[in-house]
Copies of this chain bind each other. A is one copy, B any other.
Amino acid sequence: MDEKTTKENLRDIQNEPDLRNIGIDKVGVKDVRYPIVVLDKAKERQHTVASFNMYVYLPHHFKGTHMSRFVEILNEYSGEITVENLPSILSAMKERFEASTAHLEVAFPYFIEKAAPVSGFKGLMEYECRLLGSFGEVEDYIVEVKVPVTTLCPCSKEISDRGAHNQRGTVTVGVRFKGFLWIEDIISVVEASASSPVFSLLKRADEKYVTEQAYDNPRFVEDILREVAIKLKDLDGVKWARIEAENHESIHNHSAYGYLEMDYTDDSKE
């Protein structure tokens, strides 16, 4: 029997020294798909499906990383992934890899039941979310959510005798915070800042309502960024935010786009 066939004797290449003297900022697995359970403000727990990126810092003296250990850690947490246990997972990653820094990115669709504004008919709305965590000399966590909205152009409304072009927009908000933060609260801020929220189920009376609401609340991408920036200030614990707004213009084949970062711990933006 060849030595190679004995598991105990398989040479551990990754563990061998590397002489090129270059540490690697991030190394790990990308796009690992895994079903997870997340916290839900209305229903306590929600089943969904996530994509994981898991990386660690690799010191210059190691040749490689034992990639299978990332998936072992995922298995141990059995898919319970919440804002609250990110530090514990990152801690496990640091320890298992003896790494100075660990990074975790979890992306998943999140569903919220939403009632139509007039008929009250209920439908489920999907919001794409990401939890981003880094644990090294400092800990850093960002909760991100992508919110589809209706935007109606203030310029088009003002200059036109009738109608106004409007379209689906996507507003992506990532926040750093103290304490705990509900995804639902970020979504509420964004939907209140657009011309109108979007819905999965609207009857005729609802369609009339959202059409008129959008017409009455025209918003440029610039307006949405500023409205979200101001409203986030009032959300308990928000320390920093990046806000992105993209309008899939109905009169063009490209997007209008805006990006804004806000640091709520100082006054530099004001």
Q: A207-B251, A252-B198, A270-B22 in contact; A166/B168 too (CB < 8 A)?
A: no
Contacting residue for A159 out of B10, B46, B122, B157, CB 8 A:
B10
- The verdict on A226 contacting chain B, using a C-beta distance below 8 Å, is yes
With a cutoff of 8 Å between Cβ atoms, the chain B residues found around residue A91 in the complex are none
- Is the pair B150, A250 in contact by a Cβ cutoff of 8 Å? yes
* Chain A contacts to B: CB under 8 angstroms: 2, 4-5, 7, 10-14, 18, 20-35, 46-49, 53, 55, 58, 63-65, 67-68, 71-72, 75, 109, 111, 118-119, 121-126, 148, 150-168, 196, 198-205, 207-208, 210-212, 214-216, 220-223, 225-227, 229-230, 246, 248-262, 269-270
Contacting residue for A252 out of B26, B49, B199, B204, CB 8 A:
B199
- Is the pair B49, A109 in contact by a Cβ cutoff of 8 Å? yes
- Is the pair A207, B155 in contact by a Cβ cutoff of 8 Å? yes
12 contacts between A and B (CB under 8 A): A2-B161, A13-B154, A30-B256, A33-B126, A35-B48, A64-B155, A75-B201, A151-B250, A156-B208, A163-B214, A198-B249, A200-B254
- Is the pair A207, B63 in contact by a Cβ cutoff of 8 Å? no
